[in-house]
Chains A and B, each alone.
Chain A
Amino acid sequence: MARWEGPLKKIDDYRWEIPREYKPGMRVPGLIYASEDMLDSIREEQAAEQVVNVAFLPGIMGHSMAMPDVHWGYGFPIGGVAATRVEDGVISPGGVGYDINCGVRLLRTNLREDEVRPRIEELLSILFTNVPSGLGSTGKIKVGKKEMDDILTEGARWAVKRGFGTEADLEVTEERGCLKGADPDKVSVKAKERGSPQSGTLGSGNHFVEVQVVGEIYDEPAARAMGIDDVGQVLLLIHTGSRGLGHQVCGDYVRTLREAMQRYGIEVPDRELACAPVKSAEGRDYLAAMACAANYAWANRQCITHWARECFTAVFDRSLPQIGLEMVYDVAHNIAKIESHEVNGKKVSLCVHRKGATRAFPASHPSTPAKYREVGQPVLIPGDMGRYSFVAAGTDRALKESFGSVCHGAGRRMSRHAAKRGVRDADVARDLAAKGIIAMAASRGGLAEEAPEAYKDVAEVVEVCHKAGLCRKVVKAYPLGVVKG
């Protein structure tokens, strides 16, 4: 692949600007958050050119941004953030991605590493059995047509109503697990058909359920607010999205918006950037359908949470209150949200696209749950399965500068195919076991593709965000065991 040789103007140690003059048609400059050391690998692929292409979107404000975990996507870069004016700007399904509301959910426990480690294999086996995962797996819940519409409209609340979790779970879910404006009539029959058998499934690829142990606490008051008190405490992290339903919604609307775009006379440099005015019929329909897919994903993570709780109570033979497993937070990292932001001293209604980026609102923001009003919204940043993950908190600076957004993970370094070359699942499992990490995967090649070496070091990504002031590090956690889809 050709190296990207465009200009990266240094703003400070963690900010690099691509000037508007680089390519005629850019409406705003590009901005990449990275350390100097990261630039070489960023230039190795065309992610920066995708940052440039996103800057063409009508109504884009501030900068077309990329977080330090940026890598080459389709249309938008993964790790991309773009805010467009609702009044006269566009919405692009490519700025959300096929896996709408792919996201992560973190739960804390009262369990300690020394209690869990001896039983980790038993725990993973039961998680593996009780959380349907892998290609072609089907859910344990049968969902009829009416119930599907309820899932799409109510999101995680639907699951709680069915007894999968509690009101307290909703309190600490982004948007309380239900994005407003969802209209099931805007979701195709095909999308619903794909979603129906997959409700309550993990999926495959990089989706996982991971048992972790707290390794380091950087910010004690924030950690305490999250129910994390001590090194050695056990956590649970769930990563999945909207399954085939979301993929179909994205595909349907990329197609619709590609056609609409010509009618509205919008020109963009890449077909995957298909878009329509936020206020147009097509734009509004996509937003209504995307909200449905987002809600489906929140219901999905809520169901999986419930089954994971059942697994823990069975293995440790204790009541749920004794075990804990209360939610810390649930955050989307593939989504577009209509949010009010202050730009040049004026409140503006914006459509914030976060494609492989996490919302990171500060303590003061009204959308930050009450229990985090002193510390900021929790930001969940998973790393690869051999190293560590981070919990951070949103900041005022993120709100001012990146429309309240920050990174979402480590970012891949190696293609899936390259990761698998000469590496077998068993090799990866053995290497992990040597480090005390037990891994199980539903898919062949699933461990090899997701091998730690295939990812960048998430610590470097988080460090840049922390130093740039987009989030504050709170906790570092190490994996004990992981179930991969």
Chain B
Amino acid sequence: MKRFDIVEHTADTGIIAYGTDMQEAFANAAYGMFSLMADLRQVREETSRYVEAEASDRESLAVSWLNELLYLFDVERIIFSRFEILELTDTRLKADVHGEKVDASRHKLRGGVKAATYHTLKVAENRERCRVRVIFDV
């Protein structure tokens, strides 16, 4: 299954991430976000971090999760390429995330993502798959 699609937005960029379950869709949303920033095929798994996010509902949780990863990127300069969701409820997420410190010579860095926004945000599921749609301020 495709991990994500790009959503076009005049000034910004968004993604719709897919998964057979919600865990996978949340992991693919993070993967899609970092794909906007670098070539993830070039990113090695050299370091890991544990991440927790909380929010009042499932959609806000997607925003909190992605913004938590952007915070980690800014502070530790780690590009994450694999996301293991350990626990996911409507209001809480726990994950181990893996990646590597930024290496401008190898990672083919693109533009940054400032934030995940609530704009046309959607977390949904049907019988076939789960979806997370989020627009980023880039």
Residues of A within 8 A of B (CB): 45, 71-75, 78, 97-99, 134-136, 138, 190, 193-194, 197-198, 203-205, 244, 247-248, 250-251, 254-255, 258-259, 270-272, 274, 412-418, 442-446, 449, 485
Residues of A within 8 Å of B56, CB to CB, are 258-259
A102 CB → nearest B CB, Å: 10
Given contact pairs A272-B119, A443-B110, A78 touches B11 in the complex (Cβ within 8 A) = yes
Question: At the interface, is chain B mostly helix, strand, loop or mixed?
Answer: loop
Q: Nearest B residue to A274 by beta-carbon distance?
A: B118
Known: A74-B120, A205-B112, A413-B10. 19 other contacts (CB 8 A): A72-B9, A72-B10, A72-B11, A74-B137, A75-B118, A98-B114, A99-B137, A135-B111, A136-B102, A136-B112, A190-B75, A205-B111, A248-B71, A248-B74, A272-B119, A415-B11, A415-B13, A442-B109, A444-B110
Q: Is B70 an interface residue (CB 8 A)?
A: yes
With a 10 A CB-CB cut-off, give which of B74, B109, B110, B115 has the most chain A CB atoms: B74
User: B11 to A254, Cβ gap below 8 A?
Assistant: no
User: A415 to B8, Cβ gap below 8 A?
Assistant: yes
- How many angstroms between the C-alpha atoms of A416 and B56 in the bound complex? 32
User: B111 to A136, Cβ gap below 8 A?
Assistant: no
Residues of B within 8 Å of A194, CB to CB, are 71, 74-75
Q: Which of A97, A244, A254, A259 contacts B74 (CB 8 A)?
A: A244
- How many angstroms between the C-alpha atoms of A145 and B119 in the bound complex? 34
User: B8 to A418, Cβ gap below 8 A?
Assistant: yes
B134 CB → nearest A CB, Å: 11
Residues of B within 8 A of A (CB): 6, 8-13, 37-38, 55-56, 60, 63-64, 67, 70-71, 73-75, 77, 79, 102, 104, 108-112, 114-115, 117-121, 135, 137-138
Residues of B within 8 Å of A193, CB to CB, are 71, 74-75
Q: Nearest B residue to A205 by beta-carbon distance?
A: B111
User: B74 to A198, Cβ gap below 8 A?
Assistant: yes
User: A135 to B110, Cβ gap below 8 A?
Assistant: yes
A47 CB → nearest B CB, Å: 8
- How many angstroms between the C-alpha atoms of A414 and B38 in the bound complex? 22
User: A247 to B9, Cβ gap below 8 A?
Assistant: no
Q: Nearest A residue to B55 by beta-carbon distance?
A: A255
User: A445 to B110, Cβ gap below 8 A?
Assistant: yes
Residues of A within 8 Å of B63, CB to CB, are 251
User: B77 to A136, Cβ gap below 8 A?
Assistant: yes
User: B114 to A73, Cβ gap below 8 A?
Assistant: no
B124 CB → nearest A CB, Å: 16
Q: Which of B11, B67, B120 contacts A251 (CB 8 A)?
A: B67
User: B102 to A204, Cβ gap below 8 A?
Assistant: no
Residues of B within 8 Å of A250, CB to CB, are 115
Given contact pairs A71-B10, A74-B137, A271 touches B118 in the complex (Cβ within 8 A) = yes
User: A135 to B38, Cβ gap below 8 A?
Assistant: yes
Residues of B within 8 Å of A416, CB to CB, are 12-13, 111, 138
Q: Which of A73, A271, A272 contacts B11 (CB 8 A)?
A: A73
- How many angstroms between the C-alpha atoms of A190 and B68 in the bound complex? 10
- How many angstroms between the C-alpha atoms of A133 and B13 in the bound complex? 21
Residues of B within 8 Å of A449, CB to CB, are 111
B35 CB → nearest A CB, Å: 12
User: B119 to A75, Cβ gap below 8 A?
Assistant: yes
Q: Which of A72, A74, A417, A444 contacts B118 (CB 8 A)?
A: A74
Residues of A within 8 Å of B6, CB to CB, are 417
- How many angstroms between the C-alpha atoms of A97 and B117 in the bound complex? 10
User: A135 to B117, Cβ gap below 8 A?
Assistant: no
B5 CB → nearest A CB, Å: 11
4 smallest CB-CB distances across A and B, nearest first, come from A74-B119, A136-B102, A244-B74, A415-B8
A274 CB → nearest B CB, Å: 8
- How many angstroms between the C-alpha atoms of A443 and B67 in the bound complex? 21
A-B contact pairs, 24 of them (CB 8 A): A71-B11, A74-B117, A74-B118, A98-B137, A99-B114, A135-B37, A193-B74, A193-B75, A203-B112, A204-B112, A205-B114, A244-B70, A251-B67, A254-B118, A255-B64, A258-B60, A414-B10, A415-B8, A415-B9, A416-B13, A416-B138, A443-B109, A445-B110, A449-B111
